[in-house]
Copies of this chain bind each other. A is one copy, B any other.
Amino acid sequence: MPNEFDFIDWIRAQQKHNARVRIGIGDDLAALNWAKDELLLVGVDQVLDGVHFDSTVHLPRAIGQKAMNRNLSDCAAMACLPAAATVTFALPKGIGEDYAKELFLGIMEAGEKFDCTIVGGDTASWPGKLAITVSILGRSAGITPVGRAGAKPGDAIYVTGPLGGSILGRHMTFEPRVQLARELAANFQLHAMMDLSDGLGRDLRHICRASGVGATLRIQEIPVHPDAIQLAKNDPVVRAITDGEDYELLIVSPDDLPAPCVQIGSIESRAGLTLETKDADVTFDPSELGGWEHQL
């Protein structure tokens, strides 16, 4: 980086008018108007070289898009609307201004699709690897946020698309399910929802623990992505259950949800996870099935 202040001047020049933003990029903090009947949702996700992307393989524009899209996917998971975001860049020394701009443009473009404006940030070059953190603000906008703790015995479990094998590329290119989540939450009772980042087994366990329930998955109903089949021809459903970064929604509802939602199981009163196969019901521990805990 020639000079971090030049980069910040350039970032500031990318700002567009947004009625919510009273003070934008370039002060100590940004100042936003917040509508009086809206809950404020807030969260953060980082993307790290060698963990969430590989800077020797992925283009900076795509890395930036992923950094923002992970956060937009968290908004989908809560059924809120993205509103604004802040960004930090820890840039390896000598990375070059054009590369840094591509990172920012990826973040900005991914946000703009969802009316999510960049309102602040922090940039430094360092003797380390590339790390980007995006922190996001969402607004409830008329819909009560859907958490993880409301699953009830008898509820059905749904996912919004085929799972597994995202490491072949989808973990960089997924589309956050913001609109779908809003439509479902506006029209159906959603008792619990999250986005699939740690893998179906682990993420379902998060919901079960938060809700004090158990669950049964019907193995033949789980939609398996062609990428999972390519990676594991003999047992691709294991990848569908254990692979991370699908960024589809995992939903628990007492209602019949329409496509693209696919029902894959049900919530049980007894604790623990059960896999229902053609031949038998087996309890399973997502940790023991192995799988992918934030490793490229």
> In the complex, what distance in Å separates the CA atom of A127 from the CA atom of B33?
40
Contacts of A31 in B (CB 8 A): 39-41, 78, 140, 145
A131-168, CB under 8 A of B: which get 1 and which 0? 10101111010000101110000000000000000000
Smallest CB–CB gap between A11 and chain B, Å? 13
Chain B, residue nearest A77 (CB): B28
B78 in contact with A42 (CB, 8 Å)? no
Chain B: CB-nearest residue to A76: B28
Contact of A46 among B75, B77, B122, B138 (CB under 8 A): B122
Min CB distance A128 to B, Å, is 4
- Kindly report how many copies of this chain are found in the complex they form together: 2
Q: Which of B34, B43, B294 contacts A29 (CB 8 A)?
A: B43
CB distance from A114 to the nearest CB of B (A): 14
Contact assessment for B27 and A147 in the assembled complex, using a CB-CB cutoff below 8 Å: yes
The 8 Å CB contact of A39, one of B27, B32, B50, is: B32
Which residues of B lie under 8 Å from residue A109 when comparing CB positions?
Answer: none
- Measured CA separation A120–B44 after assembly (Å): 7
Q: How large is the interface on A (under 10, 10 to 19, 20 to 34, 35 or more residues)?
A: 35 or more
Instruction: For the complex of A and B, list the 7 residue pairs with the smallest distance between their C-beta atoms, beginning with the closest.
Output: A36-B36, A135-B135, A28-B77, A29-B43, A133-B133, A128-B129, A44-B86
Distance, CA A122 to CA B74, complexed state (A): 12
A125 proximity list for chain B (CB < 8 A)? 294
- The secondary structure that dominates the A interface is strand
Kindly state the separation between the CA atoms of A45 and B34 in the bound complex, as whole angstroms: 22
**In the assembled complex, which residues on chain B have CB atoms less than 8 Å from the CB atom of A131?**
90, 126, 128, 131
Residues from chain B with Cβ under 8 Å of A30 in the complex: 41-43
Q: Is the CB of A126 within 8 A of B48?
A: yes
18 contacts between A and B (CB under 8 A): A27-B147, A28-B78, A29-B136, A29-B145, A31-B41, A32-B40, A34-B34, A34-B39, A42-B135, A43-B86, A44-B86, A44-B135, A45-B122, A50-B128, A86-B135, A90-B131, A124-B294, A133-B135
